[in-house]
């Protein structure tokens, strides 16, 4: 029963790596045999926890830890230093460079497992607290526009008793649009907090994934028609996998909406599916100028200060929600820019392995 939590093991001794992999087999694991490789893997893998050996050839664990603490994307990653050394001076040096804890070899399996659970919980709490703080900052900067689009038209409708029907409809549409933007913003933030704290209640069932994708397509066709973009699907229905149908539909609606908004008029958005023994791979491709290179590394982040307008309209946060929903299914989501097109790739396992587990256990155990 695999957890979606990611742990990076860094040790130049293959035997130590094998031991840790056996103890922590329930988690998503990667390993590196030196500090340089560990840093490169960590930048893209974004582990929740790094088990970091101190004594390695080349860059030692202290320097690796120091550099990790300088990487924005690893701000909440927990670093547990691992060494046969038990002297206080070594521990203090580890804490000085940013380590969260320290364990000694040989490993006590129960102690290690307990520390892993504790630090996963702590990381979750810190991320949720940061999310709440970012949300308050976002509201202070960007909520005024949708609020103004509600308050001003309402005041106009109240004060102008002789407004004609066409003008009244214009103001009502403005009110409705502003309310929808605020509702989308609140809904995404509340859902992200629930997902990151492990309190979201999933409802898994064996169902046809193609049906969920078709529902998502129907929900975005109004926008597609407005932009004169066609949405074509190549889906070998039925494709049965165990998933939360409502939330997976939401994921594909979000990705399709993004593809349509950033696609060129009178082009195609193409949805294709490839099935393996264990998983379903879905790609969504559009024709357009691609994703802004400055925004690309942050596309699945909750907040990016340089793209507050996107987030205020709910779309940036929607991609962050989609990412969290997919990894909660023990799947993966990726995006790549190619010349004049963008491709989102989603992998959903046929059995996520935790469908019958309580929501808290899925995230914390």
Residue whose C-alpha is closest to residue 287's, from 213, 217, 343, 233: 343
The CATH fold assigned to 205-364 is Heat Shock Protein 90 (3.30.565)
6: which strand partners? Answer: 28
Residues of the chain with CATH 3.30.565.10: 205-364
Predicted local distance difference test score (pLDDT) of residue 361: 31
The Cα 17–Cα 32 span in angstroms is 9
Predicted local distance difference test score (pLDDT) of residue 1: 45
Whose tokens are 């989102």? That residue is: 344
344: which strand partners? Answer: 284, 335
The CA R_g of the chain, rounded to the nearest whole Å, is 24
Full 3-state SS string of 72-138: HHHCCCEEEEEECCCCHHHHHHHHHCCCCEEEECCCCHHHHHHHHHHHHHHHHHHHHHHHHHHHHHH
Predicted local distance difference test score (pLDDT) of residue 360: 33
What are the φ/ψ torsions at residue 227 (nearest 5 degrees)?
Answer: -90, 0
Predicted local distance difference test score (pLDDT) of residue 136: 67
80: which strand partners? Answer: 51, 101
The Cα 233–Cα 339 span in angstroms is 22
Predicted local distance difference test score (pLDDT) of residue 356: 36
Residues of the chain with CATH 3.40.50.2300: 6-124
User: What digits encode the pLDDT tens for the residues 203-244?
Assistant: 999 999 999 999 999 999 999 999 999 999 988 878 999 999
Domain 6-124 of CATH type 3.40.50.300: no
Tell me which residues of the chain have a pLDDT lower than 50: 1, 305-308, 310-314, 354-365
What pTM value is reported for the model?
0.65
Helix axis angle, 144-159 to 165-197, nearest 10°: 150
DSSP of 290-328, one letter per residue?
---TTTGGGTTSS--GGGHHHHHTTHHHHHHHHHHHHHH
Predicted local distance difference test score (pLDDT) of residue 75: 85
Predicted local distance difference test score (pLDDT) of residue 281: 95
Predicted local distance difference test score (pLDDT) of residue 303: 61
User: What digits encode the pLDDT tens for the residues 51-83?
Assistant: 999 988 889 999 999 999 988 778 889 999 988
78-83 vs 28-32, strand pairing mode:
unpaired
């Amino acid at each position: 029963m695999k957890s979606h939590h990611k742990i990076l093991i860094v040790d130049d001794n293959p035997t130590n790596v094998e031991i840790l992999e056996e103890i922590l087999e329930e988690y998503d694991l990667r390993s590196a045999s030196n500090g340089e490789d560990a840093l490169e893997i960590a930048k893209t893998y974004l582990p929740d926890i790094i088990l970091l050996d101190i004594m390695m050839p080349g860059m030692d664990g202290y320097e690796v830890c120091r550099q990790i603490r300088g990487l924005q994307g690893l701000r909440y990653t927990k670093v547990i230093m691992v060494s046969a050394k038990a002297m206080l001076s070594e521990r203090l040096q580890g804490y000085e460079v940013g380590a969260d804890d320290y364990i000694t070899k040989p490993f006590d399996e129960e102690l290690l497992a307990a520390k892993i659970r504790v630090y996963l919980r702590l990381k979750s709490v810190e991320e949720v607290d940061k999310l709440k703080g970012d949300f308050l900052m976002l509201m202070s900067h960007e909520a005024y526009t949708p609020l103004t689009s509600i308050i001003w038209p309402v005041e106009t409708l109240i004060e102008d008793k002789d407004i004609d029907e066409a003008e009244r409809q214009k103001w009502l549409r403005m009110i409705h649009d502003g309310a929808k933007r605020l509702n989308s913003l609140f809904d995404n933030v509340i859902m992200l907090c629930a997902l990151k704290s492990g309190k979201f209640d999933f409802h898994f069932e064996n169902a046809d994934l193609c049906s969920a994708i078709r529902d998502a397509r129907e929900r975005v066709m109004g926008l597609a028609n407005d932009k004169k973009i066609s949405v074509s699907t190549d889906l070998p229905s039925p494709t049965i996998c165990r998933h939360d149908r409502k939330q997976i539909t939401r994921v594909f609606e979000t990705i399709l909406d993004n593809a349509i908004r950033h696609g060129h008029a009178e082009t195609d958005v193409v949805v294709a599916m490839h099935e393996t023994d264990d998983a379903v791979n879905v790609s969504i491709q559009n024709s357009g100028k691609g994703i802004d290179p400055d925004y690309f590394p942050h596309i699945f982040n909750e907040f990016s200060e340089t793209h507050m307008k996107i987030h205020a309209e709910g779309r940036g946060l929607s991609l962050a929600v989609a990412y969290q929903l997919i990894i909660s299914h023990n799947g993966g989501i990726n995006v790549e820019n190619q010349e004049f097109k963008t491709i989102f790739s989603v992998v959903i396992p046929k059995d996520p392995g935790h469908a019958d587990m309580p929501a808290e256990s899925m995230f914390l155990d």
